[in-house]
Structure 1
Amino acid sequence: MNSSYWPINTAHQRPSLVTQLASVWHGILAHLNATNEPHVWPATDDSGATLWNAYDPLTQLTINHASDDELRVWLEELHYRN
């Protein structure tokens, strides 16, 4: 699977194991879903802050543990790329 480059957000703590497993599970479900729309799901870091994950089945690009603004930019770039 291709991964998009995105700067690492060092302001947040590393996500917990539960959050990482949930992210992997959502990624698997996104791959199994037959739609061509990007899949977006929330994650929570150890401090309780909401981060976002997304997968685009057309380009097979992903973004993990992104802020609201980072996710918005990523989705806009996908729109103009396709």
Structure 2
Amino acid sequence: MNTSYWPIHGFSPRHRLATQLKAAWETLLTHLDATTEPKVWKSADAAGQTLWNAYDPITQMAIDHASADELRTWLEELHYRN
């Protein structure tokens, strides 16, 4: 006699709850992160030099691979444009 058991449902209620909680948490974080402030982050080129990137969610304008001076100028222009 074969006594193997294969569950009918693919996921346990605990797994479904964990999945729903994770989705709710990610949605909350997305809403908390929604801001009108420009987002700025740095990157590096192949030689290891620091480059700056930014995105303005209001104007939907971006600048990529800029020097610190170029980024500063871009941010100032954004400020005075609005």
Superposition TM-score tier, normalisation by shorter sequence: 0.5 to 0.7
Whether 2:44 is the aligned partner of 1:75: answer: no
Name the CA distance, whole Å, in 2 between partners of 1:34 and 1:55: 13
Q: Which has the larger radius of gyration?
A: 2
1:23-42 aligned at under 5 Å gives the runs: 33-42=33-42
* TM-score, length of structure 2 as denominator length: 0.60
Structure 1 unaligned regions, length at least 5: 1-31
* TM-score, length of structure 1 as denominator length: 0.60
Residue 41 of structure 1 and its aligned partner are, at CA, apart by: 0.1
Structure 1 runs (4+) deviating above 3 angstroms are none
Name the CA distance, whole Å, in 1 between partners of 2:60 and 2:81: 13
Percent identity (aligned): 69
Name the CA distance, whole Å, in 1 between partners of 2:42 and 2:64: 10
Larger RCO: Structure 1 or Structure 2 (Cα < 8 Å, ≥ 6 residues apart)? 1
Which secondary structure does the structure 2 equivalent of 1:79 belong to?
helix
Match for residue 55 of structure 1? Answer: 55
Name the CA distance, whole Å, in 2 between partners of 1:47 and 1:34: 34
Higher helix proportion: 2
Question: Over the residues paired in the alignment, what is the CA RMSD in angstroms?
Answer: 0.9
**Residue type matched to 1:65 in 2?**
H
Name the CA distance, whole Å, in 1 between partners of 2:36 and 2:68: 22
Residue 55 of structure 1 and its aligned partner are, at CA, apart by: 0.1
